């Protein structure tokens, strides 16, 4: 399959890929099936990944980070996806690619010193608590509120479909702080630390895929958040979250690439050894052409992602590219992986096989980070 490392990656990126791939093969692969059964990733995984420097890619060195650019995010996503465990990729990415960067981008020096070192080290797990029952992709329709009371904000509301809701102890969340605000105006971002009166976690959701990634609801009932935990400018939280969408979409789409490439590897192994009509499935031209077509689609998607990451690393606006990616790459993955399952026949539909798990794990990627229809509208606005 298309290898873009020599054209796009520096030596530090290639070394990072090598280290991460070795770690996943030796420490993740042997245990991850048990995490699927348990429905949660144990804390020692975050601690180990933090120890190895994998959780603070975009974090300044003074806070314990690796200071890698957007291409580092792509490598990270690809290798998490290549693991074949979408739930692992979702939980780790939620911590490292969605929640932590909000503090890195918008936190004060005091907030960065207080939160980032332990989070980048994996000693504290993060969640990104934004989605609400009536909100979905429309982040201008959130109902949670926060009212200032002395040295605290009093937070009320409900968040749902929150990845790491059970395992995390620190969350990025957003609530309306200006009751007169309209549309995107009047929201503020907070770092919420789990526990205390007025904070509760709902029952764990049972999902079709991403089984090792715990998901639940969060409830805030007159929950007090210290004023010192307000991140960024009061009333401009919506715009603060928007600044992180490019990285989030790069991470998600890179995971799709890793999962597609792993699916093709598995499928090639199968069709080249599976007897059919006196030969193997691979000897059938229709099978070869279908796989070749998929590899071409994956390569085109990969080129768009690497191009966007390279531009972002140089400081360019990549809203167009990342919206295109998010609208198309997960859709491509669904089609490619479904075809791979078909080529496995009945064995591809059996629980416990890698291709079946990947197939189940593909569906959420077109839901999180913005639905395809919303992304296409974003592209249209930029034309």
Domain edges within the chain = 5-125, 127-236, 241-382
- Reference 358, options 371, 372, 340; nearest CA is 340
CATH says 241-382 is which class? mainly alpha
pLDDT at 258 (0 to 100):
98
Chain segment 306-342, per-residue pLDDT in tens: 999 999 999 999 999 999 999 999 999 999 999 999 9
* pLDDT of 136 higher than 70: no
Task: List the CATH code of the domain at 5-125.
Answer: 1.10.540.10
Annotation marks residue 233 as catalytic: no
Task: List the CATH code of the domain at 127-236.
Answer: 2.40.110.10
| CB-CB contact of 359 with 260 (8 Å) | no
| Pairing relationship of beta strands 152-163 and 215-226 according to DSSP bridges | antiparallel
Distance from C-alpha of 149 to C-alpha of 129, rounded to nearest angstrom: 22
Residues 6+ apart with CB under 8 A from 205: 161, 215, 216
Residue 224 has φ and ψ, to the nearest 5°, of -90, 125
Distance from C-alpha of 25 to C-alpha of 90, rounded to nearest angstrom: 18
Mean predicted confidence (pLDDT) in 262-285? 96
Distance from C-alpha of 25 to C-alpha of 232, rounded to nearest angstrom: 39
Mean predicted confidence (pLDDT) in 224-243? 93
Tokens coding 97 = 């690619």
Confidence bin at 175 (pLDDT 50/70/90): very high
Residues 6+ apart with CB under 8 A from 286: none
* pLDDT of 141 higher than 90: no
| CB-CB contact of 355 with 263 (8 Å) | yes
Marked catalytic residue, from 79, 248, 261, 290: 248
Tokens coding 179 = 């009751």
């Amino acid at each position: 399959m298309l290898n873009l490392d020599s054209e796009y990656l520096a030596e530090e990126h290639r070394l990072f890929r090598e280290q991460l791939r070795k770690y996943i093969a030796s420490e993740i692969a042997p245990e991850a099936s048990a995490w699927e059964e348990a429905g949660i990733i144990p804390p020692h995984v975050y601690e180990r990944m933090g120890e190895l420097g994998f959780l603070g890619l975009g974090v300044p060195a003074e806070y314990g980070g690796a200071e890698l650019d957007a291409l580092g995010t792509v490598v990270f996503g690809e290798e998490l996806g290549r693991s074949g465990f979408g739930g692992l990729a979702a939980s780790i990415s939620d911590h490292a690619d969605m929640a932590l960067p909000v503090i890195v981008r918008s936190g004060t020096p005091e907030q960065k010193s207080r939160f980032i070192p332990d989070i980048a080290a994996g000693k504290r797990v993060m969640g990104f608590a934004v989605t609400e029952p009536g909100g979905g992709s429309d982040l201008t329709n959130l109902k949670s509120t926060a009212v200032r009371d002395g040295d605290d904000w009093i937070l009320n509301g409900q968040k749902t479909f929150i990845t790491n809701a059970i395992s995390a102890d620190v969350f990025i969340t957003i609530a309306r702080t200006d009751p007169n605000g309209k549309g995107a105006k009047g929201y503020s971002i907070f770092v919420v630390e789990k526990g205390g009166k007025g904070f509760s976690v709902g029952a764990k959701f049972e999902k079709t895929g991403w089984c090792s990634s715990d998901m639940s609801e969060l409830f805030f009932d007159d929950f007090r958040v210290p004023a010192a935990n307000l991140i960024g400018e009061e009333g401009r939280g919506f715009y603060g979250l928007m600044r992180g969408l490019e990285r989030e979409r790069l991470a998600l789409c890179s995971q799709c690439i890793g999962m597609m490439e792993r699916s093709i590897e598995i499928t090639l192994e199968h069709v080249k050894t599976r007897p059919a009509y006196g030969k193997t499935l691979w000897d059938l031209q229709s099978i070869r052409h279908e796989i070749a077509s998929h590899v071409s689609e994956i390569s085109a998607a990969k080129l768009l992602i690497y191009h966007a990451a390279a531009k972002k690393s140089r400081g360019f606006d990549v809203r167009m590219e990342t919206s295109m990616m998010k609208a198309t790459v997960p859709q491509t993955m669904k089609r490619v992986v479904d075809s791979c399952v078909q080529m496995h026949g009945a064995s591809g539909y059996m629980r416990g096989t890698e291709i079946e798990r990947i197939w189940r794990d593909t569906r959420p990627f077109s839901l999180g980070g913005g639905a395809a229809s919303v992304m296409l509208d974003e592209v249209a606005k930029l034309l």
